[in-house]
Amino acid sequence: MKGGVAYGIDFGTSNSSIAVAFADGSTHVIGTENRAPALRSLVYLNRDGNRLTGEDSVRAYLTTATAQTACSRCSLVDHTRYGTYTTCVQHRSGGSCRDSRLLAQVKRDLSSDHLDRTNSWTRDYRFTELVAVILKRLKKTADRSTGQDIRRVAIGRPVRFPGVEADPLRLQALAEERLREAAGIAGFSHVQLVPEPQAAVTVEGISDGLVVCTDFGGGTFDVAVLSKKNNRGTVLALGGAVIGGESFDSRLFDLKVRPALGVDGQAGAAKQLGVPGWLRAGLNSLTGCQQLLRDERVGPVLRDLSAHGGRGVAEALRELLYGGQAWACHQAVEQAKIRLSTERQARITLRRLPHLDLDILVQRSEFEQSIRSELSKVEACIHETLARAGVDPDQIAYVTRTGGSSRIPAFEAMLHSTFGASRVVDRDAFTTVVTGLARFAYAEWASSRPV
């Protein structure tokens, strides 16, 4: 019988995917967006209660990003002759707020020590609920495909969640507990968490011997050193670093877009007036831009700039933040970065005339230079993990690379120089981990009774 036994879910910082393990031991990656394997790990929230993920969230956000409600007309505020009453923490006299939010990097929030929720429109959204929006959508799509309600799942986890540096053991445990809770909210009753690089090795096609698996994604770099025998891998050591494609997008933004916007002072006015560091720093990620949108200090800074000869800079920033162009801008940066993996140069283009007109040429060499120190840390992480496993690079039979950021030529070159090009094997960037997780789920539950 080819009934589904369990699912594997790769819940990624940028992309998430699901695969089913069937009773006959086969696995299948289920198409989630127009049959593509990966769903973008984004969550859209609207004040009307609507919650979306994947491309739907982007589409919804593009049409509602600039819509806002003035506090004076907001249904969440009671205006009486004795005063104004509301439980909205964003309420300000004469203020307003956006009707929607697009949240990226919800995986990162799982390890947040001081916060477990975000608040909008008088509602608290717990991080576990937000992650559950993504997991629920994956489960629903997969259940529709299998015609079953499958409640067993193996979910990948990074060796080190982003944000755990301050107290690694405790915060890693906290993030894992929250991930399990989110899976419960999404309808799973049996949950196993599996280190992502370990999942990446369960895929066939590698002969016995010592194997290094690298998974370089949007949020983290993960590595496993395994001893493989009779198609089973024994983990000798795991390692991880909080370095990934999303930080590379920020580096590229800082390198090329920020100067072009004039906020670094090339245009003169911004420097003389001193665009505050917090504003400059916030621009380089979508999450940072969302925070700036909610930051009351931004308006006065832009007004000051306009009044003191920095009108062009202020208008460009207004268009970027309040004109709803932050998403398009960060997409343009990411796309250019991806093109640089195959081309020697690429352009970051965003034309929203008259205020925003970016058409910037970037060379692969300058991009790779800007991420050099991060790649050195990744290299150090590999060596440190090998050392903990007690093996030398020349004892390694194979090195596999998977994850979107593993396509960066400088990373590939580093693996080649450490291990020799002939030992580096490519694995599909986006389906290797999820396939391994489904195989793990099969091994775990194939012989147990259905739930």
Ligand X SMILES: Nc1ncnc2c1ncn2[C@@H]1O[C@H](COP(=O)(O)OP(=O)(O)OP(=O)(O)O)[C@@H](O)[C@H]1O
Interface with ligand X (CB under 6 A): 12-15, 41, 107, 196, 217-220, 244-246, 334, 337-338, 341, 403-405, 407-408, 429-430
Whose Cβ is closer to ligand X: residue 197's or residue 262's? 197
414: three-class secondary structure by DSSP:
helix
Residue 64 interacting partner from ligand X, Mg ion, none (CB closer than 5 to 8 Å by kind):
none
Task: Compute CA distances 289 → 104, 162, 449, whole Å.
Answer: 11, 19, 48
- The answer to whether residue 197 forms part of the interface with Mg ion (CB under 5 A) is no
Among 217, 244, 282, 310, binds Mg ion (CB under 5 A): 217
Give the binding range for Mg ion (CB under 5 A) out of 5-13, 301-309, 337-345, 387-395: 5-13
Report the nearest approach of Mg ion to the CB of residue 316 (Å): 34
Assess contact for 343 and 349: CB atoms under 8 A.
Answer: no
For 70, the token pair is 């003035």
Beta bridge partners of 42: none
Q: Residue type at 414? A: M
Beta-carbon contacts of 449 under 8 Å, excluding residues fewer than 6 positions away, are none
Residue 15 interacting partner from Mg ion, ligand X, none (CB closer than 5 to 8 Å by kind):
ligand X
Residue 195 interacting partner from ligand X, Mg ion, none (CB closer than 5 to 8 Å by kind):
none
Strand-strand pairing, 68-70 and 96-98: antiparallel
Give the binding range for Mg ion (CB under 5 A) out of 16-24, 25-33, 216-224, 343-351: 216-224
For 58, the token pair is 């982007």
Report the nearest approach of ligand X to the CB of residue 158 (Å): 6
Whose Cβ is closer to ligand X: residue 239's or residue 245's? 245
Residue 4 interacting partner from Mg ion, ligand X, none (CB closer than 5 to 8 Å by kind):
none
Give the binding range for Mg ion (CB under 5 A) out of 37-45, 210-218, 246-254, 283-291: 210-218
For 326, the token pair is 């932050």
Report the nearest approach of Mg ion to the CB of residue 385 (Å): 17
Q: By CB under 5 A, what part of segment 238-297 binds Mg ion?
A: none
Task: Compute CA distances 139 → 60, 64, 129, whole Å.
Answer: 21, 27, 15
Report the nearest approach of ligand X to the CB of residue 267 (Å): 29
Residue 107 interacting partner from ligand X, Mg ion, none (CB closer than 5 to 8 Å by kind):
ligand X
Among 8, 12, 197, 288, binds Mg ion (CB under 5 A): 12
Report the nearest approach of ligand X to the CB of residue 92 (Å): 36
Residue with the CB atom nearest Mg ion in the bound state: 217
Whose Cβ is closer to ligand X: residue 245's or residue 310's? 245
Q: Residue type at 391? A: V
Report the nearest approach of ligand X to the CB of residue 351 (Å): 22
Find, among 3, 39, 38, 37, the residue nearest to 21 by Cα.
Answer: 3
- Cβ count within 10 A of residue 305: 26
Report the nearest approach of ligand X to the CB of residue 387 (Å): 23
| Burial class (CB within 10 angstroms; exposed 0-12, middle 13-18, buried 19+) of 108 | buried
Which region, left, alpha or beta, applies to residue 244 given φ > 0 means left and ψ of -120 to 50 means alpha? beta
Q: Which residues of 211-248 are buried (b: 16+ CB within 10 A; e: fewer)?
A: bbbbbbbbbbbbbbbbbbeeeebeebbbbbbbbbbbbb
Beta-carbon contacts of 117 under 8 Å, excluding residues fewer than 6 positions away, are 124, 125, 126, 127
Report the nearest approach of ligand X to the CB of residue 399 (Å): 17
Assess contact for 120 and 109: CB atoms under 8 A.
Answer: no
Whose Cβ is closer to Mg ion: residue 155's or residue 171's? 155
Cα separation, 426 vs 436, in Å, equals 15
Whose Cβ is closer to Mg ion: residue 54's or residue 217's? 217
Whose Cβ is closer to ligand X: residue 275's or residue 399's? 399
Whose Cβ is closer to Mg ion: residue 14's or residue 46's? 14
Whose Cβ is closer to ligand X: residue 279's or residue 336's? 336
Whose Cβ is closer to ligand X: residue 105's or residue 122's? 105
Q: By CB under 5 A, what part of segment 91-150 binds Mg ion?
A: none
Assess contact for 18 and 9: CB atoms under 8 A.
Answer: yes
Output helix, strand, coil percentages for the chain, rounded to the nearest 5. Answer: 45, 25, 30
* Cα angle, residue 241 at apex, residues 235 and 244 outer, rounded to 5°: 115
Cα separation, 4 vs 18, in Å, equals 13
Whose Cβ is closer to ligand X: residue 217's or residue 239's? 217
Whose Cβ is closer to ligand X: residue 13's or residue 198's? 13
Report the nearest approach of ligand X to the CB of residue 317 (Å): 24
Residues at the site binding Mg ion, with contacts judged by CB under 5 A = 12, 217
